[in-house]
Chains A and B, each alone.
Chain A
Amino acid sequence: MSREEQLRKRAKELLAKKEVVMVICYRAGKRPGTATPAFVTRPDGADSLVFDDRCGMNLAAYLPRVKHLGRIAVVAKGCDSRSLVTLLKEKQVTRDQLLILGVGCEGVKEKGKLSDACATCAYPNPVICDEMIGEKVTEPPPAPDPLADFEKLTPDERWQVLADDVSRCIRCYACRQVCPNCYCPTCFVDTNSPQWVGKTTAESDNMMFHLMRAMHMAGRCVECGSCSRGCPMGIDLMRFNRKVAKIVKERFGATAGLVPDEPPALAAFDPGDKQEFIQ
């Protein structure tokens, strides 16, 4: 039985036996080569489910919206499972609300090419799951540091690279909305009394949004790349996330989304933490 057949069979069983109220997976999009998240609540709906390299959306992003319905089965590749860990750590969802159907992932494609985030993925298999659908995939060798070129630049040059990139931002917030970490009831950019961040697309407003968002990702972002893939303007949002994740790793030895019981890196204090910045 192919992995897809197994997936459909298992989803159908879970719904028929009422073990879950919903299975979140993907189905083929109308355009060839695309897939869209699917939310199946009836056993016969499981026949359209797919999982392959078209399935880039991080499905963990939908949990805060549907968890009130009951126990949810989520199909999770490596990055989705790490986002689930982040949600568990941050108490946005409880373990018994989830049934995690793990799938190994060889990277998702964008316009026929391997997604940039997937090129440096170190966790292609789910880090937590209740059951695996299909086999695990081989762990890839460590990828070269994608920030190497960026970090060779002077601070002024780096600023210019970031400014050029975010100058295209149209503030549609697709990056925020597809992000499993962005579950705040009111985002800092949406408050208007006081108005923390300007609403225009001027460099200062765009940069403020992206830098603040990056800060909010520290110790939490699992580098799934959903934001970069979702950005209609092709902004390299992963550059911000990778840099922040790298700093958290260097300073606190922490990697986001691996161990549910560990507190989030920035919510924990250790006397050994480097804190020369307050000396």
Chain B
Amino acid sequence: MKAFILSAEELGRLVTEWAKSGAVYAPVKVKDWSEFRRISSLAEADLTRVNTKLSARSLLFPQCETMFRFETSHPDKAQLAAEPVPQVILGVRPCDAAGIAVLDKFFAGQGETDTFYRRRRDKTILVGLACQVPDDTCFCTAVGGSPAGTRGLDLLLTDIGGHYVAEPLTERGEAAVKDMNEAAAADLAKKDELASKATAAMAERIDTRKLKELLDTADTNPVWGELSLPCVNCGACTFVCPTCHCFDITDETRKDKGARIRVWDTCQSCMYSQHASGHNPRLAPAARFRNRTMDKFRYTVDQVGEVSCVGCGRCIRECPAGIDIRETVERLMLALGEQSADAMQTADCKMQKAK
């Protein structure tokens, strides 16, 4: 598809136009960070920061979502939540968009799909913004991404200094900008130059290629006991993660009326794996820590064919104990790479007692 060029004013007019027929979300400054909020004009957006506090996932898979309402006296009359309104999410960073592509595999892939996610996803246009200066927590290139990655997006914008090069990636993306001027060769060259610069600026060089193979036989490795010690098992990393997608379902009723609501859940909570029998297979904090790491780099590879870490760095930034997933990976590679098969027999995930 051919690329277009937009001035900031033209982008502003597009936003105003989009806002007339649906909701437009963009990063907006909140305290000393930014978050996706509904905007009515581009002036409200803050496109200068690398990543929002929470990922764009919450606009497709909200933390709390009413699935349907019911009346206990009329169980046949459950009312499905209203259809979502069309939305444009502007300023999605490539890592977040890659995260949405991963969520798509779980919620809107082959076979069974998730109604609530699917309905929102079908009405969403993702307008990305290429990164130019990575944060000290960014590592997308280590997990197959790129600061100018296009995966999951409908349209990618690159700020080439007052103007944006707009590359449509889907028909929806193309329809959104088709009336704009076509980008000149010089604009495209500038965009490519910025993309290479941004990639070169990515300091992180961890190699995760062998990790899956190593993790496949690492269930009972004592390294988990050691690595997990600083982890307090809060859910911060899972809630800020663009690809974590576990949820719990709860009914809220008053007299005979109620709503069935789903809320984000986290594998770091001991309630997550609590069985009705009272048994909890993942009571040890180390086992919960192991689960998240395994999930990102092993389980989802088995399930959907890819690592589910997109390198956005949010878990690093928000961990209250200062745990850095890049370091976890490095230490795992080192420990597991050095282990012989014999040494892997000791199960020491019970190093810490449950809290």
Contacts and interface: CB of A to CB of B under 8 A. Distances in A.
B54 A170 contact: yes
A170 B261 CA distance: 16
Contacts of B232: 61, 174, 177-178
Given A39-B229, A183-B355, A199-B263, A170 B239 contact: yes
A252 interface: no
Interface in B36-90: 53-54, 63-64
A38 B331 CA distance: 14
Contact of A176 (B136, B234, B264, B354): B234
A192 interface: yes
A202 B63 CA distance: 10
A173 interface: yes
Given A36-B321, A170-B54, A190-B271, A198 B250 contact: yes
B229 A37 contact: yes
B320 A229 contact: yes
B214 interface: no
B263 A31 contact: no
A183 B352 CA distance: 13
Interface in A182-220: 182-183, 185, 190, 192, 195, 198-202
A231 B33 CA distance: 14
Interface residues of B, number: 45
Most chain-A CB neighbours within 10 Å: which of B230, B271, B320?
A: B320
Nearest to B252: A198
A255 interface: no
A259 interface: no
Contacts of B136: 31-32
Contacts of B320: 57, 174, 177-178, 226, 229-232
A236 B264 CA distance: 23
Given A30-B327, A36-B323, A200-B261, A177 B63 contact: no
B210 interface: no
Contacts of A226: 320
A122 B53 CA distance: 33
B63 A201 contact: yes
B322 A35 contact: yes
Contacts of A199: 248, 250, 261, 263
A233 interface: yes
Contacts of B20: none
Interface stretch (A5-13, A64-72, A83-91, A262-270): A64-72
A174 B234 contact: yes
B130 to A, nearest CB: 24
Contacts of A170: 54, 63, 235, 239, 264
B188 interface: no
B45 to A, nearest CB: 19
A34 interface: yes
Interface in B221-245: 226, 229-230, 232-236, 238-240
A174 B31 CA distance: 19
A183 B234 CA distance: 13
A171 B230 CA distance: 20
B263 A200 contact: yes
Contact of B322 (A34, A185, A201): A34
A118 B326 CA distance: 30
A172 interface: yes
Nearest to B330: A30
A62 B233 CA distance: 11
Interface string A130-151: 0000000000000000000000
B355 A57 contact: no
A36 B137 CA distance: 15
Contacts of B323: 36
Contacts of B229: 37, 39, 62, 66
A173 B235 contact: yes
Nearest to A38: B230
Contacts of A61: 232
Contacts of A31: 136-137, 316, 324
B178 to A, nearest CB: 39
B269 interface: yes
Contacts of A65: 285, 352-353, 355
B211 interface: no
17 contacts: A29-B322, A30-B326, A66-B351, A69-B351, A170-B63, A171-B239, A173-B235, A174-B320, A177-B233, A177-B320, A178-B320, A198-B250, A199-B248, A199-B263, A200-B64, A229-B320, A234-B31
Given A174-B234, A230-B320, 15 more contacts: A30-B327, A35-B322, A65-B352, A170-B54, A170-B239, A172-B238, A172-B239, A172-B266, A173-B234, A177-B233, A201-B263, A229-B320, A231-B320, A232-B236, A232-B320
